[in-house]
Amino acid sequence: MPPKDDSAGQLRHALLDLHKALMDAQRIRYEKLHGRISTSGEFLGLVLEHPQFAWLRALSALIARLDEWIDDEKSPPEELTALVAALHALVEPDGGNAVFTAAYWAIVNDVPEATIAHVKLWRLLEAAQPGGAQAAG
Q: Per the domain annotation, does 89 fall within a domain? A: yes
Q: Per the domain annotation, does 50 fall within a domain? A: yes
Q: Per the domain annotation, does 73 fall within a domain? A: yes
Give residue 53's Cα distance to chain centre.
13
pLDDT of res. 45: 92
pLDDT of res. 96: 85
Q: How many residues comprise the chain?
A: 137
Domain, as residue range, for 52 = 6-128
Q: Which residues contact 129 (CB under 8 A, 6 or more apart)?
A: 84, 85, 88
Q: What is the mean pLDDT of the chain?
A: 90
Q: Per the domain annotation, does 28 fall within a domain? A: yes
pLDDT in tens, 89-110: 999 999 889 999 999 999 999 9
Give the C-alpha separation, 63 to 69, whole Å. Answer: 10
pLDDT in tens, 20-36: 999 999 999 999 999 99
Q: Per the domain annotation, does 53 fall within a domain? A: yes
Q: Per the domain annotation, does 1 fall within a domain? A: no
pLDDT in tens, 52-72: 999 999 999 999 999 999 999
Q: Per the domain annotation, does 134 fall within a domain? A: no
Q: Per the domain annotation, does 136 fall within a domain? A: no
pLDDT of res. 73: 87
What are the helix (H) ranges across the chain?
6-34, 40-49, 57-71, 77-91, 98-110, 112-128
If one counts the domains in the chain, the total is 1
